[in-house]
C-alpha cells in the first residue's frame, strides 16, 4: 500500500498544494511562527542550563516543533490534548504560562504538580492539556476514553494523543486504535515518527512501509503527513477534527519528522546514530520552511523576527529567574496530600515522623 505524504509547502516555502493551504489570517500565521521560534529558543536555553547543572533533566523537540504546534493551531482550546514529553509547545501555544513552565522544571512550590513529576512532564488543567506520563503510549487509551466520553455526552469536543513511533509496538496502541474504530469516537491518534525510539531505529518497529497504513486493521482512515510542514499539520489535524465532530470517528495520523537532537539530556545519540544523518534533515527544518513562506506572503519581516527573539530572550530570563531564585520549594506536607480526599491517620503519622526526623538533625521543614 502506497500513501501520499500530505504537504502544503516545500522546503523553500513554496506552496505545492494550494487546495490544502489553511485559511489563516495574518495574525494566526504570525502566532504560529512565533510559537515555533519560541519553543526552539526555550529548548536551546534549557539544554544549556542542564549542562551547567542548574536543571536536572530536559527533553527537547528540536526539529519536530511543527508536529504538535501545527496540531494545536488546528484545534480548539476546549479540545483535549494528550501529550508525550515533546509537545509542551502546544500548551504554550494555548496560553500556558512560561513562568509556570519554568516552575515545573524546577519542581518548586508553584509547580502545579508539586515537584512530583520529572521536568517537562506538565499538567495544565485549565487548557485541557493532560498530565504527561513517561511510560510509552499510555496516553492513547486515555485520549480515546475522553473522546468516547465526549460522544456519550453529545459534545463536539475531540481528543488528540501524541506518541512516538516506538509507541506503535505496544499493546495499548493496538487496544486504543481498536476501541476507537469500534466505537467511532472523535479521537485523533498522532504517531510522531521521528525515526528513533530512543536508540531503536524505525526499522525495528515495523515491517510496513508506513505506520499510517496500520489504520486499515482498525477501520480507521490513515493519513501520512510531512510533520515538518506546519501548514500540512494544520490541514490534516483540522480535517481529522472536523471528521470527529461530524460523528465519523477517529483518524490515525503519522507525522513524518526527525529527531535532530538527543532523545533527552541523558542520551548520547553519537553511540548509535550516524552523525551525518541529522544533517540530511537540516534543509527540511520546519521553522525555516514556514519563515520562507511567510516572507513571500509579506506577513513578516526580518526585523519583526529579530524583535520577537529579543522579547522571547527577555521573557525566558525573567521566568527562569523567578523559578530558580524567587519561588520557594514545595512545603513538606505536599508529599502527603492528594492521595486521599482526607489524609488518613497512618500518613499523618508518617508526616509527623518525618518532621521529627528533620528537627532532630537540624533541618528546617518547609511548612511555613
Of 129, 298, 273, residue with least CA distance to 194: 273
Active-site residue, 259 included: yes
Q: Which pLDDT does position 367 carry in this prediction?
A: 65
Angle 38-39-42 from CA coordinates, rounded to 5° = 90
**Which band of pLDDT confidence, cut at 50, 70 and 90, is reported for residue 356?**
very high
**Which band of pLDDT confidence, cut at 50, 70 and 90, is reported for residue 339?**
confident
What the chain holds in terms of domains, given with CATH numbers, is: 5-326 (3.40.50.970), 331-368 (no CATH)
Q: Rounded to an integer, what distance in angstroms lies between the CA atom of residue 157 and that of residue 140?
A: 16
Q: Which pLDDT does position 365 carry in this prediction?
A: 63
**Which band of pLDDT confidence, cut at 50, 70 and 90, is reported for residue 110?**
very high
Asked whether residue 331 carries a pLDDT value surpassing 80, the answer given is yes
pTM: 0.95
Q: Rounded to an integer, what distance in angstroms lies between the CA atom of residue 181 and that of residue 179?
A: 5
Q: Which pLDDT does position 2 carry in this prediction?
A: 83
Judge whether 221 and 253 are in contact, CB under 8 Å.
no
Of 192, 166, 194, 161, residue with least CA distance to 176: 161
Q: Rounded to an integer, what distance in angstroms lies between the CA atom of residue 363 and that of residue 185?
A: 53
Of 4, 30, 14, 1, residue with least CA distance to 229: 14
- Which one of 86, 192, 263, 284 is the catalytic residue? 263
Q: Which pLDDT does position 366 carry in this prediction?
A: 65
Query: Residues 29-43: pLDDT tens digits?
Result: 999 999 999 999 999
Q: Rounded to an integer, what distance in angstroms lies between the CA atom of residue 352 and that of residue 85?
A: 35
Of 125, 124, 106, residue with least CA distance to 115: 106
Asked whether residue 229 carries a pLDDT value surpassing 70, the answer given is yes
Asked whether residue 368 carries a pLDDT value surpassing 60, the answer given is no
Q: Which pLDDT does position 362 carry in this prediction?
A: 80
End-to-end CA distance of the chain: 63
Asked whether residue 158 carries a pLDDT value surpassing 70, the answer given is yes
Q: Which pLDDT does position 19 carry in this prediction?
A: 98
Q: In percent, how much of the chain has pLDDT > 70?
A: 98
**Which range among 55-64, 160-169, 325-334 shows the weakest confidence by mean pLDDT?**
325-334
What is the mean predicted confidence (pLDDT) over 139-158? 98
Report CA-CA distances (Å) from 59 to 87, 114, 134, 265: 10, 19, 11, 6
Q: Looking at the chain, how many residues does it have?
A: 368
Q: Which pLDDT does position 159 carry in this prediction?
A: 98
**Which range among 220-224, 228-232, 294-298, 362-366 shows the weakest confidence by mean pLDDT?**
362-366
Q: Rounded to an integer, what distance in angstroms lies between the CA atom of residue 278 and that of residue 313?
A: 26
Question: What mean pLDDT, rounded, does the chain reach?
Answer: 96
**Which band of pLDDT confidence, cut at 50, 70 and 90, is reported for residue 24?**
very high
**CA atoms within 13 Å, Cβ hemisphere of 163:** 27
What is the mean predicted confidence (pLDDT) over 62-77? 98
What is the mean predicted confidence (pLDDT) over 161-188? 97
- Which one of 126, 272, 296, 357 is the catalytic residue? 272
Q: Which pLDDT does position 88 carry in this prediction?
A: 96
- Which one of 259, 260, 289, 291 is the catalytic residue? 259
Query: Residues 300-319: pLDDT tens digits?
Result: 999 999 999 999 999 999 99
Q: Rounded to an integer, what distance in angstroms lies between the CA atom of residue 114 and that of residue 336?
A: 11
Active-site residue, 263 included: yes
Asked whether residue 364 carries a pLDDT value surpassing 90, the answer given is no
Active-site residue, 243 included: no
Characterize 32-46 residue by residue with b for buried, 16 or more Cβ atoms within 10 angstroms of its Cβ, and e for exposed. bbbbbbbbbbbbebb
Q: Which pLDDT does position 288 carry in this prediction?
A: 98
Amino acid at each position: 500500500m502506497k500513501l501520499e505524504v500530505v504537504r502544503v509547502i516545500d522546503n523553500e516555502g513554496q506552496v505545492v498544494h494550494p487546495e490544502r493551504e489553511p485559511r489563516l489570517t495574518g495574525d494566526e500565521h504570525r502566532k504560529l511562527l512565533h510559537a515555533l521560534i519560541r519553543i526552539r529558543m526555550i529548548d536551546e536555553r534549557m539544554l544549556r542550563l542542564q549542562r551547567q547543572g542548574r536543571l536536572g533533566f530536559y527533553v527537547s523537540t528540536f526539529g519536530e516543533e511543527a508536529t504538535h504546534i501545527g496540531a494545536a493551531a488546528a484545534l480548539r482550546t476546549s479540545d483535549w490534548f494528550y501529550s508525550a514529553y515533546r509537545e509542551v509547545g502546544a500548551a504554550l501555544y494555548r496560553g500556558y504560562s512560561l513562568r509556570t513552565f519554568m516552575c515545573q522544571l524546577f519542581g518548586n512550590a508553584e509547580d502545579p504538580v508539586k515537584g512530583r513529576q520529572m521536568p517537562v512532564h506538565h499538567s495544565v488543567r485549565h487548557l485541557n492539556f493532560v498530565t504527561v506520563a513517561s511510560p510509552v503510549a499510555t496516553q492513547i487509551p486515555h485520549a480515546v476514553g475522553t473522546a468516547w466520553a465526549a460522544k456519550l455526552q453529545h459534545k463536539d469536543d475531540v481528543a488528540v494523543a501524541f506518541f512516538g513511533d516506538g509507541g506503535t509496538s505496544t499493546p495499548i496502541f493496538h487496544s486504543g486504535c481498536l476501541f476507537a474504530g469500534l466505537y467511532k469516537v472523535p479521537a485523533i491518534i498522532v504517531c510522531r515518527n521521528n525515526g528513533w525510539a530512543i536508540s531503536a531505529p524505525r526499522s525495528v518497529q515495523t515491517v510496513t512501509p508506513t505506520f499510517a497504513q496500520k489504520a486499515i486493521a482498525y477501520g480507521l482512515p490513515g493519513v501520512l503527513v510531512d510533520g515538518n510542514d506546519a501548514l500540512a499539520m494544520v490541514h490534516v489535524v483540522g480535517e481529522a477534527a472536523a471528521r470527529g465532530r461530524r460523528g465519523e470517528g477517529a483518524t490515525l495520523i503519522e507525522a513524518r519528522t526527525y529527531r535532530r537532537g538527543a532523545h533527552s539530556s541523558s542520551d548520547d545519540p553519537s553511540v548509535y546514530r550516524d552523525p551525518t544523518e541529522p544533517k540530511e534533515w537540516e534543509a527540511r527544518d520546519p521553522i525555516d520552511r514556514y519563515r520562507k513562506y511567510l516572507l513571500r506572503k509579506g506577513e513578516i519581516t526580518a526585523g519583526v523576527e529579530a524583535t520577537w527573539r529579543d522579547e522571547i530572550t527577555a521573557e525566558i530570563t525573567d521566568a527562569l529567574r523567578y523559578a530558580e531564585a524567587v519561588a520557594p520549594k514545595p512545603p513538606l506536607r505536599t508529599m502527603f496530600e492528594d492521595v486521599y480526599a482526607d489524609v488518613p491517620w497512618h500518613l499523618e503519622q508518617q508526616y509527623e515522623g518525618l518532621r521529627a526526623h528533620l528537627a532532630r538533625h537540624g533541618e528546617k521543614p518547609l511548612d511555613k
